[in-house]
Structure 1
Amino acid sequence: MAAGSGGRAGMEGPVAALLTALGYTGQLVKEGVLSQEVEKGPCCPHFTGACSWLVSELKAVSLLEECLTPTTGAEDAETFQLEVSGLLSELHCPYPSLTAGSATSRLNDKQSCLQLLLFLGSELQAARLLRSRQLPQEQQQVPEDAGGGEVFGELAALCRALGVAEPTQDAPVAQLFRDLELKIRDASSSLPEGTVGKPLLSRSLEPGQWEHLEEIHQAMCVEYECRRQMLISRLDVTVQSFHWSERAQQCGAAMGQLYEPLRDGLSSGTGVTLARLLSAREDLSVITRATSQSSREKTACAVNKILMGPVPDRGGRPSEIEPPMVKWEGRRSGGGGRKEKRRGKDRRH
């Protein structure tokens, strides 16, 4: 009896992991729920609902004809087991514990229920894999055009962050996303509650809205690339002005060695993509003044504490500038203007 109990407990982990990997989000994947629900057998709506979900997903990727109806109580248990019997016959189930004996008593123990979930999950996993191989090449690969290079780069960065092997151009997209989802769920479950936060984009967008969003993104990229280029040009001009002094001319080589590596790392291009919008959290919508106390805690440095000493007075105050005197150089050099011309005419007459 002890060995049998240990074997049943050993199946719960693989079953829960398989359901999660397949995309099931029901009650059975919650900690401690699977063991309690499968103990009830066909009378449990959660257990029969999970079986029904696996069969519906299996019908979507295969030519399966049979289906399962979730139970609502003990009165539906017999009907459910008869449906399971027909389903397993169509799938050619190799497990005698699920196919031998009376059809209405095969799921009366916990181990048989776990065995059924494991079998249906394995069938669904295999059917999805075969389906992905049968799809046309252009449907199962990450497209190289229409932003495919950007998408592929984001996927590669995500795989590196999760410790997953980077995808290739011929990797099945559906299987890749299922693996990534499983990894993300595992990583998120180990974090304290509230660490990640709620997404900033909380609704789904239609294809037309995504196209419009892409147009807005491109326009903003052009705008901010222009601004970045302007700031980089200002930086170059400022650094050039530092070389004008005699002391700087003597240290020009040393200044260049320090500045050029930093300058090479500056680019007018932007690294902001639409994928960053999907990963943005709600806290990014909170606007904080750059001079606020919370911001200064992260931006303050030792340079801010240095006080400048006395500097030469360069003047330039408008109130201390005397207005210029009006000069009549034109009349003095021209010889008298209109009256002189008039006198010359009178003399000729």
Structure 2
Amino acid sequence: MKRFFILVMCLCMAVPINVCAANQKIKVNPVYQNSKVIKGKTKKRYRVQAKIGKKKYQTKADRKGNFRLRIPKQSVGKSFYIKVYRGKRYISKKKIHVLTKSIKVQKFSTKNKMIKGYARPGYRIKVTMNHKSYQTKASKVKGSFKIQMKRPAGNATAKISLYNKKGKYIKSVKYSAYNKKSNKKDQNTKKAQYTTADGKKYTGKVPGFDDPIHLSAVEKQMNEAGMEYDDSKTIIETSSGRAFMNATSGHGQGYYGWISYYMDTESDNQWQWYHAKNGITLYYSTATTGDLRNTPTPDCNDPTTYEGKIKSGQTGKFAPTYKSSRDLSYLGIKIVGYKNQKTVIYYAVSEQLMAGKIGIAPQIQ
């Protein structure tokens, strides 16, 4: 009986420990469509990780538990998880929904009776169309909304007004429906539509996939980038989702060209893969620092400037090349892509690979 009592007491004492571990919380500030940094709070020194698509982004909380995690801009309505770890041990996670600070309406046809979109969570939306008015509230978590109308949109224009939680008027936007029939007829001859990073229509000259980039000008832009420098321009081809990148984000890191058309990237926290495609050859050089300003830039005509190359159809597998002052592992790498001896993409980054082992030579598969 005494042994049984001791066993029960031990079990009771053990339960709170497990409950505490399971209930570890992570607080995350709202993430908006233009956010490049996720801010939040967890336990000190905990590892924070976000997986968006095939790409992982990681950082460590400071001594007070605060963290800043850099990510690319995401589209409204997208969801992903933020996970926290104590060393390699998983602690907890939080689902993140990308929000809009204003209002975003999804495309709708002349035959649609429903209008969908996103606004700030809990905000009220009023739609006036075909002499009828409809109201609803954006959901409390995602900010999504949908309004069912009594008749199809037709050729009428919808006036969509936004009000905050207190009923104060914010702004109004107007949207017209598209005609499915005419859209099908014109889809083969219609020119590709381009937008800038902030969603505005782009009417300038869009470089072709095979158009060469001016490497010396790109290098000059990267080398002049200080730690806080952040200049990002994106031209997006909406019909395919491909994007022409012109982005610089400090210490000589950045991208230039149709990156996703010529190269796929993937990481598993230990290794980084680069896959060459569409007739390109990737020439690379690695670095033992995250400051890539004035480091060697691969030139296909000068073997002294690059360590190796990845031909179209091949994949390069890379390990970390250095550790930061916070004891985190990184791969510092510069990649220049050539097609028919023309420079078409530039890629210079410091990839975070926390669990990777430093010093393993690149492998071409």
TM-score (norm 2): 0.23
Higher helix share: 1
Q: Flag the structure with more relative contact order, 1 or 2, with Cα contacts below 8 A and sequence separation at least 6.
A: 1
TM-score (norm 1): 0.23
Determine which structure has more spread, i.e. the larger CA radius of gyration.
Answer: 1
